[in-house]
Amino acid sequence: MKYLVTGGCGFIGCNLVRFLLENRAGASVRILDALTYAGSLDNLGAAAEDARVEFIQGDICDAEAVRRAMGGCEGVIHLAAESHVDRSIFGAEAAVRTNFEGTFRVLEAAREVGIERFLHVSTDEVYGAAEGVSFDENAPLLARNPYSASKAGADTMARAYWITYGLPVLITRPANNYGPYQYPEKLVPLFVYKALRDEPLPVYGDGMQVRDWLHVDDHCRAMLAVLERGEPGEAYNIPAHNERPNLQTIRLILHELGKPESLITYVEDRPGHDVRYSMTGEKLAALGWRPEVDWEAGMRASVRWFAEHLDWLEASYARGKAFFEQWYRNR
């Protein structure tokens, strides 16, 4: 199958491109990516030189660029997004533009081209905070920050394209991913970066917020399970069943790096911080998927990966420096 992967030079995208090349005989991949601060050709490694991979630099909000990139493709995996909650709080415009308008452009081009299978990657954040509950796919979308609201809009638009136009859209709502190549604005790689430099780790609020940690390899298997075996028009949660308070994850990072817990520094909370994410996963389990990566082993290996790829970590961090200086200055 010939796939278009939007956002293929970002964290999940570059892992997915490698996964497709290694696990799907006959697959070829066209990547459409704007190469924002979060994306880099370096993330592709050897895949960038693979004859089965074609890279197009372009913006998903550019209708003509999207149409051209999609021509000749059979499947689309739509990952491109402004993916960081804090940045969306600092300024919501980029998230609204890319996540909502950009998704509309990608859906519209898919309709024109007659795409056979369209995977829209949404997020568990569209349900809002899971206080005392685990959401199934029929729970209302009650997003609470600009990032998740823009993703909820995109999720709803994707469903509308199935209902209105019959575009065979499948929607996934994954939990918090971790693993190699995650951009160091997200908790795990950011705290590895800071701990390696013996800098304070800025823990929001009391650090007891709960996230469900999904290894990116498990996520890649789940995306293909849904793309290949899911029902068009349906949404599928991708939980990991690895719910941990942030402090547990942070202590593991420090332990793996041999750094002291005195680096933990409590700072002003993220506005509207969702205290917990939690989802049920029966629909995806019925497609034969279950998470395989053990949380502790997977998290330790990821921490080591960042520590062993210091050049990558520092170059990636440097691309986002202006934001970090402003966001963390008064925290």
Interface residues toward ligand NAD, by CB under 6 A: 7, 9-13, 33-36, 38-39, 59-61, 79-83, 98, 102, 121, 123, 151, 174, 176-177, 183
180 binds, among ligand NAD, ligand DAU, none (CB under 5 to 8 A by kind): none
Annotated active-site residue 165? The verdict is no
Residue sitting closest to ligand DAU (CB): 123
61 binds, among ligand NAD, ligand DAU, none (CB under 5 to 8 A by kind): ligand NAD
203 forms bridges with which residues in the sheet? 266
Is the CB of 36 or the CB of 123 nearer to ligand DAU? 123
Contact criterion met (CB below 8 Å) for 222 and 289:
yes
Considering the complex, what minimum distance in angstroms separates the CB of residue 232 from ligand DAU? 23
Residue 23: partners with Cβ closer than 8 Å, 6 or more residues away:
224
Contact criterion met (CB below 8 Å) for 238 and 172:
yes
13 binds, among ligand DAU, ligand NAD, none (CB under 5 to 8 A by kind): ligand NAD
According to DSSP, the β-strands at 176-178 and 201-204 are unpaired
Is the CB of 98 or the CB of 256 nearer to ligand NAD? 98
Nearest partner of 252 among 205, 187, 204, judged by Cα: 187
Contact criterion met (CB below 8 Å) for 263 and 195:
yes
Annotated active-site residue 125? The verdict is yes
Considering the complex, what minimum distance in angstroms separates the CB of residue 88 from ligand NAD? 10
85 binds, among ligand DAU, ligand NAD, none (CB under 5 to 8 A by kind): ligand DAU
Nearest partner of 167 among 108, 252, 255, 127, judged by Cα: 108
Nearest partner of 182 among 227, 219, 225, judged by Cα: 219
Is the CB of 263 or the CB of 278 nearer to ligand NAD? 278
Measure the CA–CA gap between 30 and 11, rounded to whole angstroms.
Answer: 16
Residue ranges binding ligand DAU (CB under 6 A)? 83-86, 123-125, 175-176, 186-187, 190, 202-204, 209, 211, 246, 270, 277
Measure the CA–CA gap between 170 and 233, rounded to whole angstroms.
Answer: 6
Q: Considering 33, 59, 82, 124, which one is annotated as catalytic?
A: 124
Instruction: Compute φ and ψ for 310, nearest 5 degrees.
Output: -60, -35
Annotated active-site residue 325? The verdict is no
Is the CB of 259 or the CB of 309 nearer to ligand NAD? 309
Q: Considering 33, 59, 82, 147, which one is annotated as catalytic?
A: 147
Nearest partner of 269 among 145, 143, 135, 95, judged by Cα: 145
Question: How many Cβ atoms are within 10 Å of 1's Cβ, its own excluded?
Answer: 15
Is the CB of 106 or the CB of 175 nearer to ligand DAU? 175
103 binds, among ligand DAU, ligand NAD, none (CB under 5 to 8 A by kind): none
Considering the complex, what minimum distance in angstroms separates the CB of residue 124 from ligand NAD? 6
Question: How many Cβ atoms are within 10 Å of 59's Cβ, its own excluded?
Answer: 18
Active-site residue list: 124-125, 147
